[in-house]
Amino acid sequence: MAEDRRTRRSRRALGTALVELVLERGFTALTVEDITERADVARATFYAHCRDKEDLFARVTADLLAGLATRIEPVVADSEVGFTGRPVLEMLRHAREERDRYRIVLRGEGDGKPLQMFMDALARATAEEFRARAERNAVQPRIDPELLARVWVGEQIAVLRWWVEQDVPSLPDEEVVRMLLDLALHGRYWASGFTRPA
- Identify whether the C-beta of residue 152 lies closer than 8 Å to the C-beta of residue 88: no
Same structural domain for residues 103 and 43? no
List the one residue out of 188, 185, 161 whose CA is nearest residue 91: 161
Give the residue numbers spanning the domain of 154.
53-191
Same domain, 128 and 37: no
What is the per-residue pLDDT across 138-175, written as a single tens digit (0 to 9) for each? 999 999 999 999 999 999 999 999 999 998 878 899 99
Dist. CA 30–CA 26, nearest whole Å: 7
pTM: 0.89
Q: Do 155 and 110 sit in the same domain of this protein? A: yes
In this structure, what CATH number is given to the domain that contains residue 32? 1.10.10.60
Residue 1 covered by a domain: yes
What does the pLDDT look like over 50-101, one tens digit per residue? 999 999 999 999 999 999 999 998 887 776 555 688 889 999 999 999 999 9
pLDDT attached to residue 79: 64
